[in-house]
Structure 1
Amino acid sequence: MSGTFRGQDICLALCPYPKRDHATKPDRSGFPVRPRRGQDPKDEAEVFAANALQRMNEVLARIQELEEALDDPDDIWTRLRAAWKRAEDEEDPRMSEIVKQARQLRPVLTDLEKRIRRVLRRHRELTPLDRVQEMDRASMVWLSRQPGRSVAERAGSDQRILATVRRENFDTLENRVLHAYTRLAADAAREWIREHPRAKQSARFRDVDSFRKKCRSIAADLEAHDVLIATPGVTPNYVLMQDKSYHQVHDGWERLLKREKAIDDLWAWQAQTWTDFAVLAVTLAIDELEEAQLIAQSPIVWKSEAVTGRWFEQDRPIAVFWLRETGRIVEVQARPEKPGPLLIGAQAHVALRITDPTRSAVPRRVAVWTPHAMNRIDLGESVSEVANLIDQLQQFAQTEVFKHGLVLTPDHGEPETIKFEGSRCRVNGIAFGASGKSLAAGMEAIRGFVRDEFKGASV
């Protein structure tokens, strides 16, 4: 985000989190390393990283629920709110790619388990004379070099000669893909189960756990048959393209591989994802007000893959509400293209713009900060700093009123709400999470903030 403040050009750049424990440009050290799939945490550092990954996945799940809500553009926020309400119940775990595959591909794996494809391959080996059915050139050359005048003499005391035999072989490309998929799916299922220990009684938990066991069983069977593991990027053969079951396995494998690659990028750009999550949370809180009426909705374009941590794009503002009783228009501005001098000075990527259509007074802006960090932020200190900043910026306000603020930050397992009442501003700090009681507490705190902000609001 860039703009001008007091005659100076300012550009705010977001540095991604490093994907390894030490990175340069800029120099950063001490960051947790993203857990590798299939590995359980063994020490304190790995537990810290696993918890960070779990929080990231929960935030991603809330944002990805927007994709399904977009199926009905007339009712986006109602559908998204219903999905988030379900997420407040920790016994109803999040939907994810592995949950979808557990439901869709379990019958497919059951079918393949009964008919794992095999081929007959020719091998040369010493074979009893009465069982010889085929000989190739190399076998004939070997026989001609043996001592004796007849075939029986050349066969020796064991009466065996080198002949071509056909043996069953399971090490085909399609089985290698099946082996790679079952191992990857089992690891993804185990990771999902580890993140949802309180959902053991749910149908999703049972589906994923059963799918994990099925994948492990098939992987063990393939390993026993000396089937190798396919490497990513293999070119599909005829069976992978034409056999329906193998084709579905190949598609599922590619989706899980894309998920692994996407998580690497999402790990680096968690701050971007958190900002989008905060925007959705604020929009839902305003939409839930009894007096709020959605009068304008920005087109939201869902991406097939996240780009720098962002799953969707939208015009500005993302939503516009009419407050019937208060008589105000509220715009939810997320990453505005022209933030204005006060917002660029505040270094806030989200804001609420409140105007009174019946008056010619300047609009009022409420800044929303969305700081994200691997360690818990001192919410009290942040709120105090924001209040001081607002006081300093108010003296430069000319074309709009700039007062009040909201700080939304991850709670790292400890929800918290702080209110700071200053002489000229009010700042609320809310630390919350993306699932369970933490999400419920955070959404209730945001609802309280918007109710207080619009109750008797004056521009």
Structure 2
Amino acid sequence: MTLLRGNVRGNDTGTVLFPYPKREEAAGPARKGFPVRPRSGHDPATPDEEEGAEALRHMNEVLARIQELEGAIEDPSDTWGRLRDAWKRAEDVAEPKMAEIVRQARGMLPVLRDLEKRIRRVLRRHRELTPLDRVQEMDRTSMVWLSRQPGRSTAERAGSSQRILATVRRENFDTLENRVLHAYTRLAADVAREWTREHPRAKDSARYKQVEAFRKACRMLSRTLSDLGVMVASAGVQPNYVLMQDRSYREVHEGWLRLLLRRKIEDDLWAWQAETWTDFSVLSIILAIDELEEAELVAQSPILWSGEATGGRWFNQDRPIAVFWLRKTNRIVEVQARPERPGAMLGAAQAHVALRISDPIRADLPRRVAVWTPHAMRRIDLEDAVQGAAQLLDQIQPLAQTEVLRNGLIMTPARGAAAEESAAHGRASATAIAIGPAGEDLSKGFQAVRDFIRSELNEVAT
């Protein structure tokens, strides 16, 4: 995926992103040592599996912060205020995130209890040796069998056991709707277990208790269906009349499809986590600017939310995504995410996010702040990163003609240790912030973003 296209002194440039492999090794280009996504329904048992489970937990937390934008954009007049409140709640790990399994735990538990009392069954015909006094029905095959037995009467042909081959009806629970129910309970129990494993500190919360009770109910019903001989439906089955018309079975089918879609989405997100992380970083910068007392939102790009992630992205927007006016310092601040025309300096810096700060009255050159959003499965060395970024910014200064670009910001996953580092090289400087999507990592990291934004805007004012 091409993140940035530019032109530096007549030469076309670009920044390309490769997806994360689903295995430890991958080719084109060669990559090794990647954490492996944990198997569904299995608890991690080795250090490598623990690392993969932690990577999945981090991915889901970032996803939760992005998905909170869906509810925030319902009120365009206060989108960023509502999103900021949601992120503030995420700083408390005792209040776990909302997720699809949480919604289903709340709405599907009564449905499962209803179906448990009336699991649908059908009467199916079988041929078996039946005592004469219990014979109720015979088909052509049974009649042929009886005619071939020795004897002149039915009693003689029944032999000493007094049994003949007849058609009997037996209860059978292995129907399509019960197979879908069995598949749903198994999948929901696995997803619920993953969710509770990711939130060990939230055991006293109402959401955790709901999900745990739902997981136990799913496991119990799954064992019941297994004992009744019900098979497990495969994905993609065509719903029958019962799945479409019976309310409870229909809700189970719809819930099953949503969880299957979640699995598909996770496959895509695992490969393109870097894109999701970029959106997370952009939103955090917007929230930090919006918090300023002098900041007034004067323009906002329409945000088009997608029901399904594509290439790790849940929403699309025009450019810039947001424009703020700083009343006291009289500055215009644009938040540019994935600009179509980055310019020579931003293209040379290989940064596909930037702040553009200008004065609407004075004729000064606009000033840009490059923002890099490197995503890594393991925590990167902040000190080494800022040294390299500051050196790069200093090296590209001869390209400055129509704008100023001297400062940069690196936003990278904290991986359990929020931190901040800064470095200068010549006339350029860079700051690296390790921020997390929840808990203390989010609280400390977001505070560092606030401090950086304030320092940049104050520098422009002077």
Query: TM-score range, shorter-chain basis?
Result: over 0.9
Aligned mates of 1:19, 1:316 — CA distance in 2: 32
Q: Which residue number in structure 2 is paired with residue 73 of structure 1?
A: 76
Shift of 1:21: 2.2
Offset, 1:421:
4.4
Correspondence 1:220 to 2:244: no
The alpha-carbon deviation at position 395 of structure 1 amounts to 2.4
Asked if residue 298 in structure 1 is aligned to residue 301 in structure 2, the reply is: yes
Match of 1:350 among 333, 349, 353: 353
The residue type equivalent to 2:455 in the other structure is D
Q: Does 1:141 align with 2:163?
A: no
Match of 1:47 among 20, 25, 50: 50
1:347-372: per-residue Cα shift (whole Å, max 9, x none)?
00110000001101110001111011
**Which structure 1 residue ranges, 4+ long, deviate > 6 Å from structure 2?**
none
Q: Compute the displacement of 1:422 (Å).
A: 4.8
Deviations 1:129-187 (A, max 9, x none): 11111111111111111111111111112211111111100000000000001000000
Task: Write the letter of the residue equivalent to 2:245.
Answer: Q
Which shifted more, 422-431 or 364-373? 422-431
How many pairs does the alignment contain?
459
Provide Cα deviations, 1:353-411, integer angstroms capped at 9, x if missing partner: 00001101110001111011112110001011111111112222110011211110001
CA contact (8 A) 1:274 1:370 kept: yes
Could you tell me which of 12, 27, 32 is aligned with 1:29? Answer: 32
What is the CA–CA distance in structure 1 between the aligned matches of 2:12 and 2:407, rounded to whole Å? 25
Amino acid at match of 2:244: M
Structure 2 counterpart of 1:100:
103
Q: Which amino acid aligns with 1:157?
A: S
TM-score with structure 1 setting the length: 0.98
Q: What residue number does 2:205 align with? A: 202
- Letter of the aligned partner of 1:447 in structure 2? R
Does the C-alpha gap of structure 1 residues 223 and 161 become closer, same or farther in structure 2, counting only changes over 3 Å?
same
User: Given residue 65 of structure 2, which amino acid in structure 1 is its aligned partner?
Assistant: R
Matched, 1:263 2:266: yes
Give distance in 2, aligned partners of 1:41 and 1:344.
42
Aligned residue for 2:40, secondary structure, equals coil
- Residue 336 of structure 1 aligns with which residue? 339
Query: For residue 40 of structure 1, what is the amino acid of its counterpart?
Result: D
1:11: how far off? 1.5
**Aligned counterparts of 1:137 and 1:74: Cα–Cα separation in 2:** 75
| Matched letter for residue 54 of structure 2 | N
Q: How far did 1:72 drift? A: 1.2
Note the C-alpha offset of 1:419.
Answer: 2.4
1:398-439 per-position Cα deviation (integer Å, ceiling 9, x unaligned)? 100112111100011111111224552332210011000100
- For 1:56 and 1:352, locate their aligned partners in 2 and report how far apart those are by CA, in whole Å: 26
Counterpart position of 1:163 = 166
- 2:152 corresponds to 1:176: no
Q: Is 2:10 the partner of 1:4? A: no
Aligned to 2:450: 447
**CA deviation vs aligned residue, 1:252-304 (integer Å, no higher than 9, x gap):** 11111111111111111011110010000000000011111101000000111
Correspondences of 1:388-407 after superposition (within 5 Å): 388-407=391-410
Q: TM-score, normalised by structure 2?
A: 0.98
SS of corresponding position for 2:16: coil
Q: Does the CA-based 8 Å contact 1:326-1:456 persist in structure 2?
A: no
Q: In structure 1, the residue corresponding to 2:412 is in which secondary structure?
A: strand
Return the match for 2:254 from 251, 255, 258: 251
| Deviation at residue 456 of structure 1 after TM alignment | 5.0
CA distance in 2, matches of 1:107, 1:31: 42
The SS at the match of 2:400 is coil
Please say if 1:117 is aligned against 2:120.
yes
SS of the residue corresponding to residue 374 of structure 2 reads coil
Q: Does 1:377 align with 2:380?
A: yes
Secondary structure of the residue that 2:396 maps to in structure 1? helix
The question of whether the paired residues in 1 share the 8 Å contact of 2:272 and 2:311 is answered with: yes
- Check conservation: 2:391, 2:428, Cα contact below 8 A: no
Q: Which amino acid aligns with 1:411?
A: A
- What is the aligned partner in structure 2 of residue 429 from structure 1? 432
Q: Who is 1:286 aligned against?
A: 289
Residue-by-residue CA offset, 1:103-122 (whole Å, 9 max, x unaligned): 11111111111111000001
Structure 1 residue 408 corresponds to structure 2 residue 411:
yes
Do the aligned partners of 1:98 and 1:189 also contact (CA within 8 Å) in 2?
A: yes
Asked if residue 191 in structure 1 is aligned to residue 194 in structure 2, the reply is yes
For residues 208-259 of structure 1, give each alpha carbon's deviation from its aligned partner in whole angstroms, at most 9, with x where no partner exists: 0000001001100000000000000001100011111111111111111111
Q: Do the aligned partners of 2:379 and 2:413 also contact (CA within 8 Å) in 1?
A: yes
**RMSD between aligned residues:** 1.1
Q: Distance in 1 between matches of 2:191 and 2:79?
A: 30
Matched residue of 2:399: which SS?
coil
Residues of 1 paired with 2:459 and 2:130: CA distance? 96
